Amino acid sequence: MNQRVALVTGGTGGIGTAISRRLTQEGYRVVAGYFNRGNHEKAQLWQLQQREAGFLIDISYADLKDPESCLACYLNIRETIGPVDILVNNAGITQDSSFKKMTFDQWQTVMDTNLTSVFTMTQRVVQDMVERSFGRIINISSVNGLRGRFGQTNYAAAKAGMHGFSKSLAFEVARKGVTVNTISPGYIATDMIMSVPEEVRNKILAEIPMGRFGEAEEVAAAVAFLVSNDAAYITGANLSINGGQHTY
Q: Does 240 bind ligand NDP (CB under 6 A)?
A: no
Residues 117, 190: Cα–Cα separation, whole Å:
22
Contact between 22 and 222 (Cβ < 8 Å): no
Kindly state whether residue 64 participates in binding ligand NDP, applying the rule CB under 6 A: yes
65 touching ligand NDP, by CB under 6 A: yes
Q: 189 by DSSP, 3-state: which?
A: coil
Nearer to ligand NDP, 3 or 181 (CB): 181
Q: Which is nearer to ligand NDP, 29 or 65 (CB)?
A: 65
Nearer to ligand NDP, 28 or 34 (CB): 34
Options 93, 102, 173, 237; binder of ligand NDP; rule CB under 6 A: 93
* Among the listed residues 83, 135, 185, 243, the single contact to ligand NDP using CB under 6 A: 185
State the Cα–Cα distance between residues 15 and 171, nearest whole angstrom: 28
- Catalytic site residues? 155
For ligand NDP, the binding residue among 30, 31, 62, 224 (CB under 6 A) is 62
Q: Which residues inside 10-49 make contact with ligand NDP, applying CB under 6 A?
A: 10, 12-16, 34-36
Min. distance of Cβ 113 from ligand NDP in angstroms?
Answer: 5
Q: Are 28 and 57 in contact (CB under 8 A)?
A: no
SS3 58: strand
Any bridge partners for residue 7, and if so which?
Answer: 31, 87
Please list, in sequence order, all residues whose beta carbon lies within 8 angstroms of the beta carbon of residue 218, skipping any fewer than 6 positions away. 188, 241
Least separation in angstroms between CB 48 and ligand NDP: 15
Closest separation in Å from C-beta 139 to ligand NDP: 9
Distance CA 139, CA 87 (A): 8
Alpha-helical runs (H) found in 58-152: 67-80, 104-111, 117-132, 143-147
Residue ranges in contact with ligand NDP by CB under 6 A = 9-10, 12-16, 34-36, 62-65, 90-93, 113, 140, 142, 185, 187-188, 190, 192-193
